[in-house]
Amino acid sequence: MKSEIGQNTTIHLAPKGLAILAIVGPAFVWCAEYIGSGEVILATRMGAILGYAVLWAPLMGIILKTFIGAGGAHYTVCTGEGMVDMFGRMPGKGKIVVWVVLVTELCAGAMSGGSVASAAGIFAHSIIPLKPYIWGWILTAFAIVVVWSGTFDIIKYVMSVFVFLVILGVLYVAVHTLPGLSEVIRGLVVFSVPEVPGWAIELGNVSSNPWNEILPLIGWAAGGFASQVWYTYWVLGAGYGMARGRSYGQPCDTSALSRMTVETARKVRGWCRVVYVDATVAMIIGILVTGGFMLAGAGVLRPEHIAPEGPSVALELSVIFGKIWGKVGAMLFVIAGCAALTSTLIGQFAGWPRLLADSIRICFPKFSQKFSWAVQFRMFVTFFFITNTLIVYTLGFKPVFIIKMSAVVEGLLLTPFQAVAVLIGLVWVMPGLIGKEAYAILKPGWILKIGLIISAVVFGYFCFYKIPTYF
C-alpha cells in the first residue's frame, strides 16, 4: 500500500506496534548527541553537591524538551521540511526569527563545540595519556570524518554504538550506587531545592546558590535549542512520512502539500505515531543515563566531598570510582563519559552546519544559489573545526565553566521561545500548507499542545526569574 502525492514523493504505510521499534533511528542520534557534557560533568557534579533530592531537575528538563523535539518532528513528518524552515514561515516577518537563530547559534555552536571537545579530550587523556588538547583535536577530526559525507545512516550507526557504551558504563556505576528506592522516588517527584552544603562552598568553586548548579543541568538536559532543531533533521534523514525522498536544505513542496488527500494524510498520521515512539525512546534513554550520572555523583563523590572542576575532572572521577570498584568500574565510567562526549561532538558537527546552512539559505538566498547545500554544509564543518581547535587550546582548562555558560545561554534562554514557535508552526503554519481536510487528520493532539504550553511557561519562569540570580 502506498500513496502518491507529488512527482517525487511516495508515502508508504507506517509500521505498527512493536514493529515500530525496528525502524527507530533518529532517537539514537538525538539522545547520543544530547547525552554529553550536561550528563557526564554537570549531572555528576550536581549529584555530588546536592545529592538525590534534585533528580527532578533533569527529569523535568528532558520531558519538557521532548515535547518541543516531538512537536518539531511532527511538523517535519507532515510537511517534509525542518524546523528552521518552519521558523521562516512564522506570522509577520519570519526572517527575523531566522536571523536571530543564525546569529545566536553561530556563536553558541563555536563555544559549545569547543567546550565539548575540550571535555572529551580530558576524559580520553585519562585512558591514554596524550595531552588533553591533542585528544580534543583528534576527537574533533574523528567527528568530521563521520559527518563529512552528510549521510544519515553513517551517523546513526556510529551514534548507536556510542549510546550502547554510555548505557553500559553508567548503568554499571548507577546500580552500585543506588540508594533506597524511596529516596530515589522522592528525588524524582518532590520539588526540593536543598541548600548547598558547607563543605562544597569551602572548596571555592561552588556557589552558595543551588540554582547555579541546577539551571545549567536543566539547560543541557535533552540538549539546548539546537538539539530540538537537529531532531527534525534526523527525521528527515530517516525519511519518515513526507520526509521520504527529500534532501537536506530544501523547503517543503507547497504545491504538493496543498493537494494532499485524506488517504495520504491518514498514511502520514501513521508516521506521526512512529515519531512519537522514536522521541519517547530518546527520552527514556536520556532520563536513565542522566539519572545514572547523578546517582554516581551522589553515591561516590558526595561522601568524599568532591565537586569536579577544571582539567582534573576525569582523573578525580576515575580515582574515586577505582577505590570502590577497582580498575573495571573506573574504566567503564571514564569510557562512558568519553563516549557520551564524543557522540555529542559528532552530533554537533552533524547538526549545527545543517541548521546554519538552512538559516543562510533563508536569509541570503543568492548565497544558496551560488553554493550547493553540500558545499555550505562542509563550509560550516570547516568553520567549527577551526573554532574547536582554537577553543580547545585556549579555553580547555575550564571545561565546567564553559559548559555551564553554554547551557544557560543556549539551553535556557531560547527554549521558551522555541516552544511557542513550534506551537505556532503546528496550529498556524501547518494548516496553511496542507489544507483543512488533511489538517483535521494531522493536527497535533491536545497532549502535545499542552506539553508545549507548559514547556514555554516553565522555561520562561527560569529565564525571567531564576537566570538573573545566576549572574
Contacts of 429 (CB under 8 A, 6+ apart): 75, 86, 89, 90
- Confirm if 169 and 333 have CB atoms less than 8 A apart: yes
State the DSSP string of 156-221: HHHHHHHHHHHHHHHHHHHHHH---HHHHHHHHHS---PPPPHHHHHTSSS-S-THHHHHHHHHHT
Distance CA 273, CA 291 (A): 27
Distance CA 123, CA 214 (A): 23
Indicate the DSSP class of residue 17.
G
The grid coordinates listed for 402 are 564553559
Report the pLDDT value the prediction gives residue 122, as an integer from 0 to 100: 78
pLDDT in tens, 333-357: 677 777 777 878 888 888 888 899 9
Band (pLDDT 50/70/90 cuts) for residue 15 is: confident
Residues 371-395, mean pLDDT to the nearest whole number: 76
Angle at 411 between CA 211 and CA 216, to 5 degrees: 25
- Confirm if 428 and 180 have CB atoms less than 8 A apart: no
Residues 409-424, mean pLDDT to the nearest whole number: 88
* pLDDT exceeds 80 at position 155: no
Residues 245-257, mean pLDDT to the nearest whole number: 87
| Per CATH, domain 2-461 is 1.10.4160 | yes
pTM: 0.86
Q: Could you tell me which residue, 232 or 95, shows the higher pLDDT?
A: 232
The SS3 of residue 3 is strand
Question: What Å distances lie between residue 414 and 153, 282, 365, CA to CA?
Answer: 30, 21, 25
- Confirm if 35 and 170 have CB atoms less than 8 A apart: no
pLDDT in tens, 31-82: 777 776 666 777 888 888 999 899 999 999 999 999 999 999 999 999 999 9
Band (pLDDT 50/70/90 cuts) for residue 199 is: very high
Query: Could you state, in order of their start, the residue ranges of all structural domains in the chain?
Result: 2-461
Q: Lowest-pLDDT range, 143-152, 323-332, 364-373, 449-458?
A: 323-332
Band (pLDDT 50/70/90 cuts) for residue 277 is: very high
* pLDDT exceeds 50 at position 3: no
Report the pLDDT value the prediction gives residue 417, as an integer from 0 to 100: 93
User: Residue 91 is which amino acid?
Assistant: P
* pLDDT exceeds 90 at position 458: yes
Residues 429-436, mean pLDDT to the nearest whole number: 92
pLDDT in tens, 70-123: 999 999 999 999 999 999 999 876 688 899 899 888 877 776 767 777 778 877
Distance CA 291, CA 211 (A): 18
Report the pLDDT value the prediction gives residue 5, as an integer from 0 to 100: 46
Q: Lowest-pLDDT range, 20-34, 52-66, 202-216?
A: 20-34
